[in-house]
Amino acid sequence: MAVRLAVTAAFLFPFFTPVASVDLTVTPGAVGPEVVEATVQRILLSDIFSDDFSLLRRIALVETADGKDSAAFAGGLAGGIWRLTPEAFTRTTELAEGDWGSYYTDLRRSALGVDWRDVTYTDLQTPLISALAARIYIMMTSTPVDKVAYGLAPQALYWKLQYNKDGDEAQFIAKVTEMEKGQVCKIGIDVVFALDASLSVGDEGFARSKNFVKQVVEAFNIGPRDDQTRVGCLQFSHEVSLAFDLDNHDNKEGILRAVDEIAYKGGGTAMGSAIDFIRQNSFTEEHGARPTQYAVPRVAVILTDGKTNKEFPILFPSALAHRDGITIYCIGVGAADDSELTVIASRPVASHVMHVLSYAAIDYLQNIMATRTCRETTEIAVGHPVVTDLQEGEARFISYEIDRTEGATLKFVTSSGLVTVYLSSEVPNPNEAVYDYKVQTDGRVDLFIDPALLGSSSRYKRATGVVTPSHVTVYTAIYAHTNGTQLYVESRGGNNADHGYPPPASTDPPDGGEHAPYRSHASPGPTASVPVAVAAVCATSAIFAQLQF
């Protein structure tokens, strides 16, 4: 995953400094929470497996403290971060073609690009391979196949019976609870909950739906600032009934009271009407949604237990909502129609559709929902600016569809405060674990995405001969390091980078990742390279970098 960075002086004498882009998910021996979370996200994004309800993330924590527990590796490699046993790994390599062999094909053809039949046990020191081995094993040993338990206690029981027979269920629950308690999303989001209030839900089911909303709200930093979350809510039966808009309550207590006051109506299931209402009303500035230039994600969470009435179709409303940049999560309960949920939800389906057996079970999803919504990106059209304020520790995740014929220039400007900018064409939330380009600035940085270097961002497309699309998605993540950071991002087609200043004396390479407490002898795993042409202007410098997309 090599990237060449060229710093061009005013004298036009080129000076080349090699800088490697980073993907610690395929780096043998890399460890830590960021590595684990990036690895789990890559598997979810592949859409190969069903939702594991955070089980993979939790096993990494319990088995090896995300690879940082030296005691876990006292006996040697022990299956990498996920510490799968040799016997369990062998089972993952013996899937019959008639049963689960299609998973091998999916892995090879997906963006992960892994031929599982070539993987050996020693390869499990690579985080992605260790996680895939664990995920395949979970798929094989779940009952029914690939239907993972969604509650913490049932997951702990599964782990004890199938994954680690010497493990302690109580310790599993305690460690996971400690990790997940008190987690607060520091990223501003506009979230609208749509609650099914049809007759099949009943008073008890509706009460549990309201309780779920309250539990998720507890994990958000509620308030009116750009870095805080706003919440709206509605119910739908034969018609849509608004409970409160995004701007009706700017504190957590007010939202919780408003949810308690929602009265169950009963009736049909006008899900299509609810989606239309969310798009045409809830996510408008008149009803409290932040302007698109703030780059605040717009997220709808739909809870339903049935099938929509025929007079309220869902296909067209869902397509329009997706087109308008609304991310939709669907939580199906009981007899909810999975085919409908798949149509309504955003992609990938594995991370945006959750199906539980009863309303009593939705309580288990609160942490999962809060975590996933906190990572959503905002798609901004090239040519539209972003103007927002960030607090320390907050991030903005922005994606751009860039024309392959002309490329685009992204200009990041901070009038106050320090930010780190990561770019990637592979993952929606690039960070220290996975990125293709990284720069830090407390002034301005111009990045030109050169069309001459834009290739296919998907190994699957390259392998199967799919026609190269006219645009490529570039993901950016901007992290603030100080409170009161004022951020302005300008995007324009073509090369508009300002490069009329001399370069700095040196360019620091990217930070390295943490390594596991055991010696690594394996060769590096497969990597994907993403070349970008970049011009960075930091007060007195112009930096040109080339990365390959």
- Is a pLDDT exceeding 50 seen at residue 81? yes
Q: How far is CA 482 from the centre of its chain?
A: 24
Mean pLDDT of the region 335-361: 88
Secondary-structure percent of the chain, ordered helix, strand, coil, rounded to 5: 35, 25, 40
Task: Give the model's pLDDT for residue 368.
Answer: 84
**Pairing state between β 240-244 and 190-196:** unpaired
- Is a pLDDT exceeding 60 seen at residue 396? yes
H or E element in which residue 500 lies: none
H or E element in which residue 405 lies: none
Mean pLDDT of the region 503-521: 35
Angle at the Cα of 164 (from 112 to 132), degrees rounded to 5? 5
Distance CA 259, CA 30 (A): 44
Of all residues in the chain, what percent carry a pLDDT higher than 90? 52
Q: Kindly report the average pLDDT of the chain as a whole number.
A: 82
pLDDT band at 99 (very low <50, low <70, confident <90, very high): low
SS3 assignment, position 173: helix
Of the candidates 363, 364, 372, 302, the residue with the CA atom closest to the CA atom of residue 337:
302
Of the candidates 423, 426, 55, 367, the residue with the CA atom closest to the CA atom of residue 183:
367
- State the angle between helix axes of 127-141 and 33-46 in degrees (0 to 180), rounded to the nearest 10: 60
Distance CA 205, CA 445 (A): 51
Contact in structure between 278 and 185 (CB atoms under 8 Å): no
Distance CA 114, CA 541 (A): 41
- Is a pLDDT exceeding 90 seen at residue 159? yes
- Is a pLDDT exceeding 90 seen at residue 365? no
Contact in structure between 206 and 264 (CB atoms under 8 Å): yes
pLDDT tens sequence across 409-458: 999 999 888 999 999 988 899 999 999 889 888 888 888 888 776 554 44
Of the candidates 446, 445, 391, 438, the residue with the CA atom closest to the CA atom of residue 417:
391
Contact in structure between 477 and 396 (CB atoms under 8 Å): yes
Q: Domain segments of the chain: what residues?
A: 2-23+378-546, 31-180, 190-373
Q: Which two tokens stand for residue 237?
A: 């039966």
Q: Which two tokens stand for residue 362?
A: 């939705």
Q: Which of 145-149, 171-175, 303-307, 538-542 has the highest mean pLDDT?
A: 171-175
β partners of residue 438: 422
SS3 assignment, position 7: strand
Q: Please, which residues have CB within 8 angstroms of residue 469's CB and are 6 or more apart in sequence? A: 404
Mean pLDDT of the region 512-524: 35
Please state whether the peptide bond connecting residue 144 to the residue before it is cis, i.e. omega within 30 degrees of 0: yes
Which range is least confidently modeled, 69-78, 174-183, 334-343? Answer: 69-78
pLDDT tens sequence across 274-294: 999 999 999 999 999 999 999
- Is a pLDDT exceeding 80 seen at residue 177? yes
Task: Give the model's pLDDT for residue 108.
Answer: 86
Contact in structure between 513 and 432 (CB atoms under 8 Å): yes
Q: How far is CA 352 from the centre of its chain?
A: 10
Task: Give the model's pLDDT for residue 185.
Answer: 80
Amino acid at 21: S
Q: Please, which residues have CB within 8 angstroms of residue 15's CB and are 6 or more apart in sequence? A: 6, 7, 8, 9, 503
Contact in structure between 333 and 304 (CB atoms under 8 Å): yes
Tell me the C-alpha to C-alpha distance, in Å, between residue 287 and each of 188, 189, 248.
17, 15, 9
In this prediction the pTM is: 0.81
**Pairing state between β 22-23 and 444-449:** unpaired
**Phi and psi dihedrals of 411, rounded to 5?**
-115, 120
Contact in structure between 159 and 167 (CB atoms under 8 Å): yes
Query: What topology does CATH give the domain 190-373?
Result: Rossmann fold (3.40.50)
